[in-house]
Structure 1
Amino acid sequence: MTNYAAVITDFWQTMFRGDVRYGDETVTVTANPDLAHDRRAMVLETVEGPAALVVTPDLAERLDFSGRPDLSELRRRLSDVDITLHGADHLFYFTRAARDRLLAEGPADHVRQLTRQDVDLFDAFTSSASESDLDDAFVELDHWAVFGVFEDGRLVAAASMYPWQKSTLADVGVLTLPSYRGRGHARHVVRAICRYAYHQRHQPQYRCQLDNDASVALARSAGLTRFGQWDVVAE
């Protein structure tokens, strides 16, 4: 994980800190009494290194660690104690080298930051998108940062960010109108908003569901590298 900024690896180590209740070469289970109710069970699988499961102490007491269970078996045993996980998200970040290339890059002429004065443009943009696309992208004009791509004076793609988990990580969502896809707009707007995040001393974070192949392809084309996947208890 040395390819990533220390703030990223430190964040995830802190999220999964606790008293070790079980561990082998593939997974470590910790118990943390400070977990919020909606974070009472979380799983992190990184590209490098063993997986991690953190739970509240009461869940740790109820879990069965006999027989050297692997992560898939631990997931099943969580369901035995009425814990269902939401379904993992990919986690993408810029490596240090990719960050340096991004920061050395100039802005694209057709991409700019959006403000509240762009409300009419933004409303016209969202009215042209489907409800499912809007829900999946979670791009909002009142987020911490918002950038848009324009074609012939029309807003055709947008990305927004908000600080995530009370940290310096900034979670990004992106949406391109269907008839304007395949033109590189999403890549340009993601890189623009991530460059802005770095200038504001935040670390860009890109999350998407495991089966969203188009979003995975976008993350990679924008220069991000897969760090791992994160899952959390479903409510």
Structure 2
Amino acid sequence: MFPSVVSDFWLSPSPTSRPLCGDGTFGVFMDTALAEGERLTLLTTADGETRVRLTPAVAASLGLDEGRPVDETDFRQRLESSGIVLHGADHLFYFTDENRQALLGESDDPSVRPLTKTDAEAFGQFEGAASEKDLDDAYVELDHWAVYGAFEDGRLVSVASMYPWNDTPLADLGVLTLPPYRGKGHARHLVRAISRHALARGFEPQYRCQLDNHASVAAAGSAGLTRFGTWDVVSPDSGM
């Protein structure tokens, strides 16, 4: 259903990881190559399979033993008892194989074009018209690896930007439309245009948003993306 790049990244065993414990659809994998900021991650796929990846140090702090059956309830109780806090899950969206082919068969909407440094003034006006929260949530930047904008009556009203994610063939994207211009299809056109850009360069588009960002979830569906699952990571402030 999803491109092999996506399923291999999230579900295939890593050379640096091995199964530690779990039961049925819940599994814990110890990985010696995890960065400090991702010393514990939790993926739950749309079909209900949950995979936890953690460093040996975190496994030891949780008292997890190799081969011991552990369910998700027990695991989360151990997290709470140890004081480890998760940051808060994001939805993960990707194009399925079928939707990917439809995407590649289209052309960019006439209102959409790539942005460059010469668009700095228009981008600055765009940022000035957006709220700090919207800018923080969307994380669109003019100096990202790829940046596209949608214009209405000569004004930049929506921006999507993208960057390679964690040294993988996935390209993480964000999109933001100014409030007065929402509901007109700008985000859809941008997501599809910048996704074609990524695919042409060997990257798979990845769309993430917080679980309670219902407008962003709707935008993902409108753009033809399908939810792969949710992903959470240890909070930067969590002590261990």
Identity across matched positions, percent? 53
**Runs (4+) of structure 1 moved beyond 6 Å?**
none
- What does 1:89-168 correspond to in 2, within 5 Å? 89-168=90-169
The code of the aligned residue for 1:23 comes to G
TM-score, normalising length from structure 1? 0.94
What are the Cα deviations for residues 38-91 of structure 1, in whole angstroms up to 9, with x where unaligned?
111110000135210111112212324599543243123123223111010000
**Which residue in the other structure is 1:13 paired with?**
11
Task: Quote the offset at 1:222 in angstroms.
Answer: 0.3
Stretches of structure 2 that go unaligned for 5 or more consecutive residues are none
**Whole-angstrom CA distance in 1 between matches of 2:201 and 2:177:** 25
**Which residue in the other structure is 1:81 paired with?**
82
**Which residue in the other structure is 1:63 paired with?**
62
Stretches of structure 1 that go unaligned for 5 or more consecutive residues are none
**Which residue in the other structure is 2:182 paired with?**
181
Task: Quote the offset at 1:108 in angstroms.
Answer: 0.6
Task: Quote the offset at 1:15 in angstroms.
Answer: 7.7
What SS does the aligned partner of 2:52 have? strand
What SS does the aligned partner of 1:119 have? helix
Task: Quote the offset at 1:11 in angstroms.
Answer: 1.2
**Whole-angstrom CA distance in 1 between matches of 2:10 and 2:21:** 19
What are the Cα deviations for residues 118-145 of structure 1, in whole angstroms up to 9, with x where unaligned?
1111111111111111111100000000
**Whole-angstrom CA distance in 1 between matches of 2:132 and 2:227:** 28
| Equivalenced residues, count | 233
Q: Is the 8 A contact 2:21 2:70 kept in 1?
A: no
What SS does the aligned partner of 1:85 have? coil
**Whole-angstrom CA distance in 2 between matches of 1:30 and 1:48:** 19
- 34-43 or 143-152: which moved more? 34-43
Q: Is the 8 A contact 2:22 2:70 kept in 1?
A: no
The code of the aligned residue for 1:59 comes to V
**Which residue in the other structure is 2:218 paired with?**
217
1:40–1:221 CA distance, 2 compared to 1 (3 A): same
1:15–1:150 CA distance, 2 compared to 1 (3 A): farther
What SS does the aligned partner of 2:228 have? strand
What SS does the aligned partner of 1:78 have? helix
**Whole-angstrom CA distance in 2 between matches of 1:152 and 1:39:** 44
What SS does the aligned partner of 1:226 have? strand
What SS does the aligned partner of 2:29 have? strand
